[in-house]
Amino acid sequence: MAKKLRICETVLRDGHQSILATRMRYEQMEPVLGLLDEIGYEALECWGGATYDSCLRFLNEDPWERLRKLKANVKNTPLQMLLRGQNLLGYKHYSDDVVEAFCKAAVKNGIDRIRIFDALNDPRNMEAAIKYSKKAGAHVQSAMVYTISPVHTTESFLKVAETLVEMGTDSLCIKDMSGLLGPADAFDLVSTFKKRFGELPIDLHSHFTCGLASTTYWEAAKAGVDIIDTAISPFAHATSQPATETMIEMFKGTEWDLGLDLDKYIPLVDHFRKVKQQIAEEFNLKPASDVIPAVRRYQIPGGMLSNTQNQLNEMGMGDRFFDVMDEMPRVREDLGYPPLVTPTSQIVGTMAMMNVMMGDRYKMVPNEVKDLVRGKYGALPGKISDEIRHTIIDDEEPITCRPADLIEPELAGYTEDLNSKGYTGITEEDVLTYAMFPEVAINFFEANRR
């Protein structure tokens, strides 16, 4: 008999991050936490990603307090978070002592499973987070960012996975953040991983952005995937995951039957439908609803399409949208085919926009692009031509070491900085918040810590 397929439920993190800009409040989660805990999920993704920033910036919530409340109300289901490797939940590399403190604090405050990824699939940028998450007692799920390019093949993903397994990961995740993974490729990739890694659990995380994800999950199940990521229907589809209820129905009666009770979803769907409306009204947001097959052509996340259009409209360049879209794959190729996920999606997108605006490619180059070429974000998947490298960083030699090896310990400095600003009763969690988002943290502390 085939092993039962299991679900990681994303409604409390990636579901609302994808559909409504990460604006769900804890108070909108709390009434149904007990119901969610009774379902029988493999894990409940509820923290990390953009939730940390959003709590502070938009919701006036302490993300650590949110986590503690979640843990107090979810007794049986492992709580999962998303961590950007050496970037943690910020937008730069942090020193190893900050990474260690963060992983330890996350587990202490309630996280059971930590999904760790790096935008470039450079295992060196995940090594410290894997080490310290395991040391803290978490289940570590190492994720490979899926993308399409001439240098991204089943063999290249397998090579990354083998390194992550050597580092001690407890499970692997194929993280298809843009919804680019097609059914045939999913079958091939999962089959290869299962053949190589045997009983090591494989999780597939995809998005419905181009409309393929449900079929992709079906083929992945045939290949032996262990876990799929889904979201309860009000926060599913479009740029989110396939709907949990739909997946239960799709696999019902098959050898991959999820074994979950659909009747339990009736109050959950009703609750989250109301929450969705509340968020849209409070923040004047339009929920993501479109399926965008063009993402496979442009190889970019669906949210990036709308963000780019909005930015161009604000600059009076709305008519140049398709010029920018056509430029993005060219820039991506020039820069060594980085997967497009935070922060590389912003780096490539900005460069493409500037090339179109200036009419002369790489006439003006942001520092982030220069640092990408310098190797400060990690090893690029593909090669950069000598011509492009010289255009961007002249005769500088890119670094070849792990980027974080160049960062001195920072944790004590963040603590001293906060103390010098008059915050003497701060917790270690407060220090970590300040490390992630200094300006946002100070605004939050001014409102809540004085």
What is the C-alpha separation between 227 and 42, in angstroms, rounded? 8
Number of Cβ within a 10 Å radius of residue 115:
25
> Do the beta carbons of residue 53 and residue 440 sit within 8 Å?
yes
CA 303 from chain centre, in angstroms, equals 13
> Do the beta carbons of residue 230 and residue 262 sit within 8 Å?
no
In a domain, 294, yes or no: no
Task: Transcribe 277-312 into DSSP letters.
Answer: HHHHHHHT-PPP----TTHHHHTS-HHHHHHHHHHH
| Helix, coil or strand: residue 105 | helix
Residues 236 and 379 in one domain: no
In a domain, 292, yes or no: no
Crossing angle of the two packed helices 96-108 and 127-136, in degrees rounded to 10 = 40
What CATH number is attached to the domain comprising 431? 1.10.10
Domains of the chain: total: 3
Residues 98 and 204 in one domain: yes
Residues 196 and 317 in one domain: no
Q: What is the pLDDT of residue 374?
A: 97
pLDDT < 50 positions in the chain: 1
Residues 24 and 61 in one domain: yes
Residues 81 and 133 in one domain: yes
In a domain, 293, yes or no: no
Residues 400 and 417 in one domain: no
Q: What is the pLDDT of residue 2?
A: 54
Q: What is the pLDDT of residue 189?
A: 98
| Helix, coil or strand: residue 152 | strand
Q: What is the pLDDT of residue 1?
A: 40
Q: What is the pLDDT of residue 302?
A: 67
In a domain, 288, yes or no: no
Residues 343 and 441 in one domain: no
Residues 52 and 177 in one domain: yes
What CATH number is attached to the domain comprising 254? 3.20.20.70
Q: What is the pLDDT of residue 310?
A: 73
For 44, phi then psi, to 5°, come to -120, 105
Domain extent, residue 373, equals 300-404
Q: What is the pLDDT of residue 290?
A: 82
- Let me know if 322 is exposed, middle or buried by CB neighbors in 10 A (0-12, 13-18, 19+): exposed
Residues 314 and 201 in one domain: no
Residues 354 and 424 in one domain: no
Furthest-apart CA atoms within the chain: distance in Å: 64
For 373, phi then psi, to 5°, come to -70, -30
What is the C-alpha separation between 320 and 399, in angstroms, rounded? 36
Q: What is the pLDDT of residue 355?
A: 96
In a domain, 202, yes or no: yes
